[in-house]
Amino acid sequence: MMRFKIYVIGAIVIAVVCIVWGLYNQNVPASVSPSQGSGAVTANAGSSGDSSGVTLPPSTLPVGKDGLIKAVIPKNLFGGGNMTAEDYIKEFHDDPDANQILAKLISNDDGTVTVLCTPKQLEKYRQNLYNYSQFQEDPTVPQDLATLPSVKKTIYGDNMLTKITVLVDSKLYEQTWLDRLSCNILLACSAGTYQILSGTPPDKWHTTITIKDASTGKVISTTDFPNADMYKDY
């Protein structure tokens, strides 16, 4: 039971960190529409390995009179009852670089978090979340040093990340808890946040993640997110 609690807490913390990473990573080039609102963005190569850019759909979130865009992050994207809005904000602000990313984070009475950002920040945020989710095998990195050694490729079913397939080495996948965590709850958190920043209502985000063996095509698991047990011990 103690091991399970540690894993759940770890999942929540890593989920927040991965979303923060999506905010401040500056190594991915983007082409942003010059319009006042949040226009389409050209992301890095698609997860299918295509070398052409992927044009993300424009966000439908409106720009306020103060020049900022408001989005609400629901509790099921940062741990629900296991992590409060205040915890979420603290995790974010504990990173010294993160304070430069958003205009403001606000905890709401219903336990959700409101993020405020400029149109430029929003598009960088969306683009990095989209690219973060593209787990891809890197042949230049030795397997024992790879961040996710079992993962071969991520395939998006659409550009809203509502359907995601992850191809893995099934043997390594079953042996590596971090890979199972990353390919499930962390990937779901990234996809859910991306959808909300694109204009999906906070209570309507969803994604189906299918894990398949890369060699045989056998389905290892198919999980619909969100669900009541999404922060389980994977």
Q: Distances from the Cα of 95 to the Cαs of 19, 99, 107, 132, in angstroms?
A: 12, 7, 18, 18
* Predicted pLDDT of residue 5: 40
Model pTM? 0.80
Q: What is the pLDDT of residues 137-188, one digit of tens each?
A: 666 656 555 678 899 999 999 999 999 999 999 999 999 998 999 899 989 9
Q: What is the pLDDT of residues 76-116, one digit of tens each?
A: 998 756 788 888 888 777 776 666 667 788 999 998 999 99
Which of left, alpha, beta for 65 (phi over 0: left; psi -120 to 50: alpha)? Answer: alpha
Q: Distances from the Cα of 209 to the Cαs of 78, 145, 159, 222, 224, in angstroms?
A: 18, 25, 14, 6, 7
- How does strand 163-168 pair with strand 151-156? antiparallel
Q: Hey, where are the domains in the chain? A: 2-225
- Average pLDDT rounded to a whole number, residues 29-34: 34
Strand order in the sheet with 53-56: 31-32, 41-45, 53-56
- Average pLDDT rounded to a whole number, residues 13-35: 43
Q: How is residue 107 written in tokens?
A: 């905890």
The mean pLDDT value of the chain amounts to 78
Q: Can you tell me the distance from the alpha carbon of 105 to that of 103, in angstroms, rounded to the nearest whole number? A: 7
